[in-house]
Amino acid sequence: MTESTRLTAWRLGIIFGALLVVEASVRSGWISTFFLAAPTRAVVVLWEQLLHGKALHLTLITLYEIAACLVIATIFGVLAGFFLWRYKLIGTSYEMPLAALFSSPIILAYPIFLVTFGRTSAAVIALSSIFGLIPIIMNTKGAFQNVNPILLQVGASMNLSRKQLFRHILVPAVAPTIFSGFRLALTYILKSVLGLEYVAQVGGVGMWLADASYKFEVEEVYAGLFGTIALSIMFLYLINRSESWFRK
Amino acid sequence: MAILTLRNVSKVFGEPDNGAALVPAVDNVSLDVEAGEFFSIIGPSGCGKSTLLRVIGGLLPATSGELYVGAEKVAGPHPWLGFVFQEESTFPWRTTLGNVEFGLEMRGVAPDERRRKAKEMIGLVGLSGFEDRYPSELSGGMKQRVAIARALVLEPKILLMDEPFGALDEQTRIILGEELMRIRDQLKQTIILVTHNINESVQLSDRVMIMTARPGRVKEIVAIDLPQPRDSSIIASDRFGKLVAQVWNALREESIRSFRQTEQRN
């Protein structure tokens, strides 16, 4: 068994072990179904909702919003990060304000976005993209700043063209840090998208969770949470696959 | 005919237009290196020996003077030259095989051909069995061997090495030096080595060039007449001791001068 297989086995073992404990606790009545749904019931409800209920439509809305935020944050974040690295004076000047903006509660600005874009997905995408944008900008700038110059000299000593240096040395060297930024961005985007859907009732899984919680539909709430976790895993998987491709 | 010729090469750092102080690093260096020769450059810290090697390798432009590789005048990286750096320089995202293949891949060599050549070179540096390991899974000495294989696989006529064993412990350094001698004998490779280690320079070289304190000039070139092929047992011989003393005698005054220069700067 390889190291990575062993790690995966441990990880899955711990997750399924915990779910088993929850399942047993709920089924035995030790924890009330008013607080917690049995994981198997939540999965069944999720499946039923996806097939016959509103879940599929709402999940597709959330999926679309997250994907749009990631694309916008990636394009503008990487470009801005590269620009701030390339022009050191501007980069140094904006580093602190960006960090301050990152730690500020931008989410409280959601009424402005609702007024500007209406109670639509556009408002969710516009505000959530900002959450994703900042870690990508900061990680991109940091990634380029911290490239080991010796690696570029190795390329120069082999007489590589600028294009080869960029594609085969610079890109793989910066990829891990930039992709860490993507993972961070995904976390913030997920929180923001679901939070806004929940609060502003714009649609998507967040609205489904809000509806279910107002009606004390515990199994639906947990089904929605499982759906959200599945979305998060799917996006993380896609990010990790893209990173492997970039580092080739 | 010399495979590498330097004529009055100088390197000055700083832009006169910027008003910054000009720092002369290398001053008026002329030398000839013969094909198949192991030529070491030694000098006090900060004397410009690494700068000189980077100028030879085309990584830094010379401020004045001429540089010839074979009969060709050069002013940048040349395909006959390979470079091994002191610092960790393997690509962390590539395996040993991927690192060694890198240069061939960039030159468009077909995958089968480059794999065969890379594996051959990995065997030559004694890393067979480690082809699929990433640099993070290798020791410092092994990483340097990967860097040497990566440079050698491109079949450079001259291998430039900037203190390649500088970050390694003494025993690893001696053993890798011995490995380098073996590779050099096998490939009939011309090697120019920058080092601050007198023993290493005498153990490995055919000639040792001693540089002055900054700005670096050629102070003396010592011919090492130890028998070939050598291994590390040569360091126990009387002749080795005498040559080390001769190099140190030439270097001592410059080292003191360099030490004083540093003290004055601080």
What's the DSSP call for residue B168?
S
User: Which A positions 163-202 lie with beta carbon below 8 A of chain B?
Assistant: 164, 168-169, 172-173, 175
B93, B146, B192: best to mutate for the A interface, most A CBs within 10 A: B93
Distance CA B73, CA B4 (A): 10
Report which of B146, B134, B205, B91 is spatially closest to residue A4, judged by C-alpha positions.
B134
ipTM confidence score: 0.86
Residues from chain B that touch A167, judged by Cβ atoms under 8 A, are none
B252: closest CA of chain A, how far (Å): 31
Residues from chain B that touch A175, judged by Cβ atoms under 8 A, are 93
Q: Average pLDDT in the B110-136 region?
A: 93
The rounded percent of chain A whose pLDDT value lies above 90 is 54
Q: Average pLDDT in the B52-79 region?
A: 93
Whether the pLDDT of residue B120 is over 80: the answer is yes
Q: Average pLDDT in the B182-189 region?
A: 86
The number of residues making up chain A comes to 248
The rounded percent of chain A whose pLDDT value lies above 70 is 100
pLDDT in tens, B27-56: 999 999 999 999 999 999 889 999 999 999
Q: Alpha helix (H) ranges present in chain A? A: 3-27, 39-52, 55-86, 88-103, 110-117, 121-145, 149-157, 162-165, 171-200, 205-214, 218-246
Whether the pLDDT of residue B170 is over 90: the answer is no
Whether the pLDDT of residue B206 is over 70: the answer is yes
Domain A52-246 superfamily per CATH: MetI-like (1.10.3720.10)
Residues from chain B that touch A154, judged by Cβ atoms under 8 A, are 83, 85, 89, 91, 150
- Name the class of domain B2-76+160-165+190-265: alpha beta
Q: Rounded to 5 degrees, what angle do the CA atoms A143, A228, A15 make? A: 85
Whether the pLDDT of residue B256 is over 80: the answer is yes
The ranges assigned to domains in chain B are: 2-76+160-165+190-265, 81-155
Are the Cβ atoms of A150 and B89 closer than 8 angstroms? yes
Burial string for A69-103 (b: 16+ CB within 10 Å, else e) reads bbebbbebbbebbbebbeeeeebeebeeebeeebe
Three-state DSSP class for A220?
Answer: helix
pLDDT attached to residue B34: 94
The average confidence (pLDDT) of chain A is 90
A158, A171, A245: best to mutate for the B interface, most B CBs within 10 A: A158
Distance CA A228, CA A234 (A): 10
Q: Is A247 on the interface with B (CB under 8 A)?
A: yes
| Cβ pairs A/B, distance under 8 A | 50
Q: Average pLDDT in the A114-135 region?
A: 92
Whether the pLDDT of residue A200 is over 90: the answer is no
HEC profile of A79-121: HHHHHHHHCHHHHHHHHHHHHHHHHCCHHHHHHHHHHHHCCCH
Instruction: Name the pLDDT band for B222 (thresholds 50, 70, 90).
Output: very high
pLDDT attached to residue B16: 67
Our measurement of the distance from residue B228's CA atom to the centroid of its chain's CA atoms, rounded to an integer in Å, reads: 20
Give the residue with greater pLDDT, A71 vs B259.
Answer: A71
Residue B78: closest C-alpha in chain A: A159
pLDDT attached to residue A105: 84
pLDDT attached to residue B18: 66
A221: closest CA of chain B, how far (Å): 42
Q: Is B82 on the interface with A (CB under 8 A)?
A: yes
